[in-house]
Structure 1
Amino acid sequence: MTRPVDRRALLHAVLGTAAVAVLGGALTADASRQLPGPSGVLRVATGEPTAFYAAFGRLLAAELEAAYPRLTCRVRTTAGSVTNIELLRDHRADVALVLTDTALAAQGTDLFPHPVPLRALGRVYETYLQFVVRADLPVRAVADLAGHTVSLGATGSGAAVLGERILHAAGLSPGTDVPVSHLPLADAADAVRTGSVDALLVAGGVPLPTLTDLDDRVGLRFLPLAGLLPRLGGRDGLAGSGLEEVSLPQGAYRSAGGVGTIGVSNLLVCRPDLPRGVADALTRLLALRASALVPGNAVGTQFPDVGSLIGTGGIALHPGAVAAYRSLHG
């Protein structure tokens, strides 16, 4: 029988010693080359090419290959969280980035009628839900979108799932009150620019270059979402769903500073059968090289510190991750 993980004790252990390890350069490319480490091919499922998932995945792959030269990482761009879980289920990916609420849904819901076993390696950063509308439209809240065309994220993304919940929370019926499409981010931005779509929802870090460019071209208004949070918590409440109130950082976009929106934690997950040595190596890199995994244009505090990594909610840590976090305690 597996002994339950005392997350509070583990948190104190990691906080007490991992920061020292980071300052001491405990995981560097040169140091790790002295160890055999994992080898072979690691398939990493990320997100849309222009979004933060893909940027994070590329940085993660580069750090892993530098630290473990016998390991080859293949980064796969995808539609997002739902697709990534399907790739794990079908053994077409080894690790993947997913929104916490989508990972929880994989335990058995209408979205995933057959549960998909997942294990977490860490809570890696926080995504911001960004619901934007052309600034020249009389839309200042989600409830005002009645009769307006909306793209709710690409099919297969976590945003597509959350988007419908957000519309319902605002008293709107997707497809009836609001014509809905599911376009990849680049296509949705083009549609907003040309006027064929009025608004789009995306889940990602800030700023997203695609939204920055669109704001410069046509002018955007970022819709407040925080007021809808009480209707989105689900049976386990907001903490259980990985949702929380956040504000778009000042300076992230031209006119969005201080807008209250919804933050969703992101997990790096795998199947339970990922070899412990690989899980250990990945987890150590997350804990000790976090600063190297931040895309250069990121603002705000959406990326991990050692204390937040183990906060994976209802998704259990992989045994290799548990061993890695404990080993940081010495």
Structure 2
Amino acid sequence: MTAATPRRRTLLGAALGAALTVGSTAGCSAGHDPVRTLRLATGPEGGPYNAFGRSFTEAVAHSGRLTLTPVGSSASVENLQQLADGSVDLALTTADVAEDAVLGHAAFDRPIGLTALARVYVNYLHLLAPADGPVRQLADLAGRRVATGAVGSGNQVTAGRLLRQAGIDVRQHPLGLAESLEALRSGELDAVFWSGGVPTPAVSALARELPLRFVPLDAVAALLRERYGPVYTAVTLPACAYGLPDPVATLGVGNYLTARPAVPEDAVRRLLGILFDQWATLLRSVTAGARLEPRFAVSTGAVPLHPGAAAYYRSVYG
């Protein structure tokens, strides 16, 4: 982490310099601008992106001269595809999907114009199975019925990479969170991958009904970090999160708030001002105990900061 810090500061410095020369014609008379509406791609109903999007929309609505319209989706991949075709102005996405997008890899047949406002919080990859079932470790998934996330979601990307890295073939079910947990409850699935904040309310609710096993993923997490770099981190599900007997080591992946480069700089600065002013309330619905700090928010890897974001962080750092 110490080796990455100077590089990130160099990138931030470059972005801040760009902020001095790259302007937005739409934002030059902000004091007299009409209310500007921006479309924010979030995620499916009941998921953390959707919850964050609703909370952020409400917070922005009270700010004046700027409103957000949340747009539901299956999450990260679809969000960035909508950003690329201009259907939305802002999008939430996982770090691994965002990096694929700027590099033109995997689901993206060409690089897309993408900028970051902030790394907002970290997803924890959960591997859930009934406590009395046959899945006790990752290798036990072989040949079994496993939910790996909805099509177009970051969950599906992360779970798929982990399974390929581990060399495990499963009977994949491309289901969202609500459908996955219901199928696990009814016995139609043997395990569920879920990437989200801690605790995820829907997972907590199921854990109160059905004794669950949370399978450690740290061994493969380390290999994924070696292969894909710092988009992945080592994290631990705390025992208190779901009433676990012990903490569970797993894989973390950042969540970014991203924007089309054409979004006006003054709008980006206002959005970040609201985000940093109200982060405790905004993150409460998606992950417990998280903090939003500029030194972590600027850690967006291969995704460049929006010039308006660079200007905002320059004002924070002084």
TM-score by length of 1: 0.83
SS at match of 1:115: coil
In the alignment, residue 275 of structure 2 is paired with which amino acid? L
The match for 1:74 among 69, 72, 76 is 69
CA offset digits 1:61-85 (Å, max 9, x no partner): 1111111x23221112221100110
- How far apart, in 1, do the equivalents of 2:263 and 2:197 lie? 27
Q: 2:49 aligns with which of 38, 42, 53?
A: 53
Is the counterpart of residue 157 in structure 1 residue 148 in structure 2?
A: no
- Counterpart position of 1:226: 218
Distance 2:229 2:175 in 1: 28
Aligned equivalent of 1:259: 248
Cα deviation for residue 165 of structure 1 reads 1.2
Q: Taking every aligned residue pair, what percent have the same amino acid on both sides? A: 38
Matched, 1:129 2:125: yes
- Structure 2 residue aligned with 1:85, among 73, 80, 89? 80
Match of 2:199 in 1: 207
Cα distance change on mapping 1:145 and 1:269 into 2, 3 Å? same
Deviation at residue 230 of structure 1 after TM alignment = 2.9
Unaligned runs of 5+ in 2: 1-5, 14-29
- Indicate the residue corresponding to 1:39 in structure 2: 35
In the alignment, what sits opposite 1:25? none
Q: CA RMSD in A?
A: 2.3
Give the drift of 1:56.
1.4
CA distance in 1, matches of 2:186, 2:285: 30
C-alpha distance in 2 between matches for 1:36 and 1:213: 48
Instruction: Report the CA distance between 1:104 and its aligned residue.
Output: 0.4
* Aligned-pair CA distance for 1:272: 1.1
* In the alignment, structure 1 residue 113 sits paired with structure 2 residue 114: no
TM-score by length of 2: 0.86
Write the distance in 1 (CA, Å) between the matches of 2:7 and 2:33: 27
For 2:149 and 2:200, how far apart are their aligned partners in 1? 14
Residue 109 (structure 1) shift: 1.1
> In 2, Cα distance between the equivalents of 1:257 and 1:264?
22
Structure 1: gaps (5+ residues): 13-33
Question: Taking structure 1 as reference, are residues 234 and 196 closer, same or farther at Cα in structure 2, changes over 3 Å only?
Answer: same
Residue of structure 1 in register with 2:143 after alignment: 147
Deviations 1:105-127 (A, max 9, x none): 01211321121110000111111
Distance in 2 between residues matched to 1:143 and 1:37, nearest whole Å: 58
Q: 1:267 to 1:298 in 2, by over 3 A?
A: closer
* 1:194 alignment partner in structure 2: 186
CA gap 1:117/1:10 in 2 versus in 1, 3 angstroms: closer
Letter in 1 for 2:81: E
| Corresponding pairs, count | 296
